[in-house]
Amino acid sequence: MNRKICVVTGSRADYGLLRSVMQGIKNDPNLIIQVVVTGMHLSPYFGLTYKEIESDGFFIDEKVEVINDLDTPEEISQSIAKGIIGCAKAFNILEPDLILLLGDRYEIYSAAIAAHVALIPIAHIHGGELTAGSLDDAFRHSISKMSSLHFVAAEEYKKRLIQLGENPERVYLVGGLGVDSIKKHNLLNKHELENKLSVKFLDKSLLITFHPVTLDVESSESQFRELLKALSNYKDTTLIFTMPNADAGGRKLINMVEEFVSKNKNAKAFTSLGQLLYFSCILNMDGVVGNSSSGVIEVPSFKKATINIGDRQLGRLQAESIINCKPLEKDILYAIEKLYSSSFQTLLNRVTNPYSGTGVSDKIIEVLGAISLDGIIKKAFHDL
């Protein structure tokens, strides 16, 4: 009997990384793909991005609504509860042999709880990482402890999972899926990108993504205000915003983006670019500004600069192309000045990405299809 692999995706970000793995599962004659969509994919506020999954040729087996009208801590907790209930129902209907999860968001945490209680083995991608400035740090480690298989992006992350008590034989160092995905796209040149985005790039250009700082919700708005104050000095620079995640405080940041764009003709915002346009923006623009994991994990592969603001990504491995700065206007202005300096631009030519990997999705699919699942849920704690 063919093995049923159920992939759960909750956002444009994790789907972009999972897509090549999903396609590989779909193409494998010994595997059956099941797709459960949840989180931001199903929200009109965040662009109904489940339609991108369908347009890529995937059938969505179940939809699990979790996002509420508000994004307060209470509402987020209710969303987690809704996710557990919805995923439990979906898994009961689909009866998968294995659940495949990526990352650390709360809806993925919900799926992990539902699978764990149902005694369905979990394979987790991108565990062992640290983001000390985010609630996601605890979600990620919790998902890892409920998972039986692990696919990690770097040796340091493999060591950390083993430190958490995971069996070394079940932790596979495969590399970063995002870096692998870059190689699978025929990226657009600047002229093609301008036509797609209906934007005429100025001499300078920056891509901005700033997510809520979920361990310090009240400061997210003040930090983002400092960033916008800094960016308002760059009237000669095209500013492309991608919208924040559906975390506590995210809607306030979205409103701030919309207000900034309405007052600055050199700025434009997009709810969801999709991976092709997003990667094409990185390729054709001067650098990335904000606090997204993509700036740390994927952008260095383009030999482009990342200005990483605050501590949301604190703890991740970093390439030399990353400029860390405090969430203060003067520090952000200094970081942008450094980004455009001739010495830093020269440095970018020799940057190597610690998340590099080759054939990452193929390695994952090979393990998913070959490994025995007999007794895999009964994990012994691996003592060092």
Tell me which amino acid residue 252 is: K
Longest CA–CA separation in the chain, Å:
62
> In 3D, which of 36, 151, 15, 40 has the Cα closest to residue 99?
36
**H helical segments located in 147-292:** 155-163, 177-182, 190-197, 217-231, 250-263, 274-284
Q: How many CB atoms lie within 10 A of CB 195?
A: 11
DSSP codes, 28-60 = -TTEEEEEEEEGGGG-GGGT-THHHHHHTT---
Handedness of CA 349, 350, 351, 355 (dihedral sign): positive
- pLDDT tens string for the chain (384 positions)? 799 999 999 998 899 889 999 999 999 999 999 999 999 899 888 888 899 999 999 999 999 999 887 678 899 899 999 999 999 999 999 999 999 999 899 999 999 999 999 999 999 999 999 887 777 889 999 999 999 999 999 999 999 999 999 999 999 999 988 888 888 888 999 999 999 999 999 999 999 999 888 666 558 889 999 999 999 999 999 999 998 877 777 888 999 999 999 999 999 999 888 889 999 999 999 999 999 999 999 999 999 999 999 988 888 999 999 999 999 999 999 999 999 999 999 999 999 999 887 899 999 999 999 999 999 999 999 998
d(CA 124, CA 86): 20
The pTM assigned to this predicted structure is 0.88
Please tell me whether residue 244 adopts helix, strand or coil conformation: coil
Please tell me whether residue 75 adopts helix, strand or coil conformation: helix
Kindly list the structural domains of the chain, giving each domain's residue range(s) and its CATH number in brackets, ordered by start.
3-176+357-370 (3.40.50.2000), 190-348 (3.40.50.2000)
Handedness of CA 275, 279, 284, 288 (dihedral sign): positive
Categorise residue 208: left if φ over 0, alpha if ψ from -120 to 50, beta otherwise. beta
Per-residue CA distances from 226 to 88, 219, 269, 319, 327 (Å): 42, 11, 18, 25, 7
d(CA 76, CA 95): 27
d(CA 85, CA 66): 10
